[in-house]
Structure 1
Amino acid sequence: MSEATDRLAARMAALGQAGRHRAERRPTLGQIALDLRDADPMREVVRQGDTRLTRADMVDRALRLAGGLDRLGLTPGAAIAFQLPNWWEATIINLAAALTGYRVVPLLPIYRRAELTAILPTCGVEAIFIPPAGKVDYPGLVASLATPPKHVITVRGDGPLTFDALMDGPPAAPRLPDSRDAKLIIFTSGSTGAPKGVIHTHDSLDAVVRHAGRFWSLGDEDVLYVPSPIGHIGGSIYAFEFPWITGCRTVLEDQWDAERAVSRIAAEGATFMAGATPFLTALLSACRSSGTALPSLRRFICGGASVPPDLVRDALRAWPQAIVSRAYGSTEIPLACPGIRDRAAAEDHTDTDGELAVDHRLDDGEILLRGPQMFPGYLDPAHDAGAFTEDGFFRMGDLARIVEDRFVVITGRRKDIIIRKGENISPLEIENALLTHPHVDAVAVVGTPEPERGEMVVAFVVGNGPFGFDDMTRHLTAAGLARQKFPERLEHVEALPMNAVGKVQKPDLRKRAAELVAGTDGSL
Structure 2
Amino acid sequence: MTDGTIAGLLDEAARQRPNAPFLLGEDGADWTVADVARLSTAGAHWLAEVGVRPGMTVAWQLPAHPPAAVLMLALARAGVTQAPVLHLLRRREVAAAVEVGGADLLIVDETTRAEAPDGIPVLELPADFLAELAHRPNSESPFPAPTAHDPHWIYFTSGSTGLPKGVRHTDSTLLVAAAGYVAHLGLGDHPDDVGTLAFPIAHIGGIIYLTSMLIGGFPAVLVPKVDAATIADVLARRRVTISGSSPAFYQILLAAQLASGRDDPLIPTLRMLIGGGAPCPPELHEKIRKHLRVPVLHAYGMTEAPLTCVSKATDTDEQQIHSCGLPIPGARVRIAHSGEIELCGTNVTPGYVDAVQWAQTTTPDGWFRTGDCGYLRPDGRIVITGRIKDLIIRKGENISPDEIENELLAHPLIDDVAVVGLPDEERGELVCAVVKRSPAHRDVTLDEICAFLDRRGLMKQKWPERLVVVDEFPLTGLGKVAKKVLAEKISGGTGCPS
Closer, same or farther in 2 for the Cα pair 1:435/1:40, shift >3 Å?
Answer: closer
SS state at 1:441 partner: coil
Shift of 1:305: 2.8
2:276 corresponds to: 303
Shift of 1:463: 3.3
CA-atom RMSD, angstroms? Answer: 2.7
2:418 corresponds to: 444
Question: How many Å separate the matches in 2 of 1:396 and 1:266?
Answer: 37
Which shifted more, 406-415 or 445-454?
Answer: 445-454
Q: Which residue of 341, 344, 350 corresponds with 2:321?
A: 350
State the Cα deviation string for residues 231-272 of structure 1 (Å, max 9, x = none): 22223421x322223322222122213564434434433332
Moved over 4 A (4+): 162-171, 189-192
Closer, same or farther in 2 for the Cα pair 1:164/1:152, shift >3 Å?
Answer: farther
Shift of 1:376: 1.2
Closer, same or farther in 2 for the Cα pair 1:349/1:32, shift >3 Å?
Answer: closer
Asked whether 1:487 is paired with 2:464, we answer: yes
Shift of 1:307: 2.2
Shift of 1:112: 0.7
1:20 corresponds to: none
SS state at 1:279 partner: helix
Closer, same or farther in 2 for the Cα pair 1:244/1:77, shift >3 Å?
Answer: farther
Contact 1:126 1:151 in 2 (8 A): no
Whichever residue aligns with residue 301 of structure 2, its letter is G
SS state at 1:389 partner: coil
Whichever residue aligns with residue 355 of structure 2, its letter is P
Question: How many Å separate the matches in 1 of 2:160 and 2:411?
Answer: 27
Question: How many Å separate the matches in 2 of 1:512 and 1:341?
Answer: 40
Shift of 1:496: 1.9
State the Cα deviation string for residues 284-340 of structure 1 (Å, max 9, x = none): 3334525326443332124323423122112223454x4423321111111112223
Question: How many Å separate the matches in 2 of 1:308 and 1:114?
Answer: 34
Question: How many Å separate the matches in 2 of 1:488 and 1:132?
Answer: 46
Shift of 1:118: 0.3
Contact 2:195 2:219 in 1 (8 A): yes
Shift of 1:174: 5.0
Whichever residue aligns with residue 474 of structure 1, its letter is A
Shift of 1:26: 5.3
Closer, same or farther in 2 for the Cα pair 1:445/1:259, shift >3 Å?
Answer: closer
Closer, same or farther in 2 for the Cα pair 1:406/1:26, shift >3 Å?
Answer: farther
Question: How many Å separate the matches in 2 of 1:408 and 1:102?
Answer: 36
Whichever residue aligns with residue 382 of structure 2, its letter is V
Closer, same or farther in 2 for the Cα pair 1:81/1:369, shift >3 Å?
Answer: same
TM-score normalised by L of structure 2: 0.88
Contact 1:106 1:185 in 2 (8 A): yes
Question: How many Å separate the matches in 2 of 1:64 and 1:354?
Answer: 40
Which shifted more, 114-123 or 294-303?
Answer: 294-303
Asked whether 1:327 is paired with 2:299, we answer: yes
Shift of 1:164: 6.1
1:35 corresponds to: 12
Q: How does 1:176-255 map to 2 (within 5 A)?
A: 176-189=145-158, 193-219=162-188, 221=191, 222-238=193-209, 240-255=210-225
Question: How many Å separate the matches in 2 of 1:317 and 1:491?
Answer: 28
Q: Which residue of 138, 156, 161 corresponds with 2:127?
A: 156
Question: How many Å separate the matches in 1 of 2:373 and 2:37?
Answer: 44
Question: How many Å separate the matches in 1 of 2:398 and 2:37?
Answer: 54
1:8 corresponds to: none
Whichever residue aligns with residue 149 of structure 2, its letter is R
Unmatched tracts of structure 2, length 5 or more: 494-498
Q: Percent identity of the aligned residues? A: 35
Question: How many Å separate the matches in 1 of 2:467 and 2:232?
Answer: 36
State the Cα deviation string for residues 79-128 of structure 1 (Å, max 9, x = none): 22322222111111111112221222222221111111101133233333
SS state at 1:210 partner: helix
Question: How many Å separate the matches in 1 of 2:170 and 2:84?
Answer: 14
2:496 corresponds to: none
Question: How many Å separate the matches in 1 of 2:358 and 2:212?
Answer: 28
Q: Which residue of 29, 36, 48 corresponds with 1:51?
A: 29
TM-score normalised by L of structure 1: 0.84
Asked whether 1:281 is paired with 2:251, we answer: yes
Q: Which residue of 84, 105, 109 corresponds with 1:106?
A: 84
Question: How many Å separate the matches in 2 of 1:282 and 1:191?
Answer: 30
Whichever residue aligns with residue 335 of structure 1, its letter is L
Shift of 1:44: 2.4
1:140 corresponds to: 114
Asked whether 1:396 is paired with 2:373, we answer: no
Asked whether 1:478 is paired with 2:455, we answer: yes
Contact 2:311 2:323 in 1 (8 A): no
Asked whether 1:377 is paired with 2:348, we answer: no
SS state at 1:432 partner: helix
Shift of 1:155: 4.1
Closer, same or farther in 2 for the Cα pair 1:99/1:299, shift >3 Å?
Answer: same
Contact 1:65 1:166 in 2 (8 A): yes
Shift of 1:210: 0.7
Shift of 1:180: 0.9
Contact 2:468 2:492 in 1 (8 A): no
Asked whether 1:429 is paired with 2:429, we answer: no
SS state at 1:317 partner: helix
Question: How many Å separate the matches in 1 of 2:456 and 2:306?
Answer: 33
State the Cα deviation string for residues 374-415 of structure 1 (Å, max 9, x = none): 111111222213311233321111111222342222111100
State the Cα deviation string for residues 189-216 of structure 1 (Å, max 9, x = none): 5687322111110000010111111111
How many residues were matched structurally? 479
Contact 1:130 1:155 in 2 (8 A): no
2:388 corresponds to: 414
Contact 1:259 1:283 in 2 (8 A): no
Which shifted more, 407-416 or 74-83?
Answer: 74-83
Contact 1:280 1:302 in 2 (8 A): no
Whichever residue aligns with residue 276 of structure 1, its letter is S
Question: How many Å separate the matches in 1 of 2:15 and 2:425?
Answer: 69
Asked whether 1:501 is paired with 2:478, we answer: yes
1:122 corresponds to: 100
Shift of 1:450: 2.9
Whichever residue aligns with residue 304 of structure 1, its letter is G
Contact 2:55 2:79 in 1 (8 A): yes
Whichever residue aligns with residue 309 of structure 1, its letter is P
Closer, same or farther in 2 for the Cα pair 1:175/1:271, shift >3 Å?
Answer: farther
SS state at 2:300 partner: coil
Asked whether 1:256 is paired with 2:226, we answer: yes
Whichever residue aligns with residue 86 of structure 1, its letter is A
Closer, same or farther in 2 for the Cα pair 1:388/1:37, shift >3 Å?
Answer: same
Closer, same or farther in 2 for the Cα pair 1:389/1:88, shift >3 Å?
Answer: same
Contact 2:319 2:325 in 1 (8 A): no
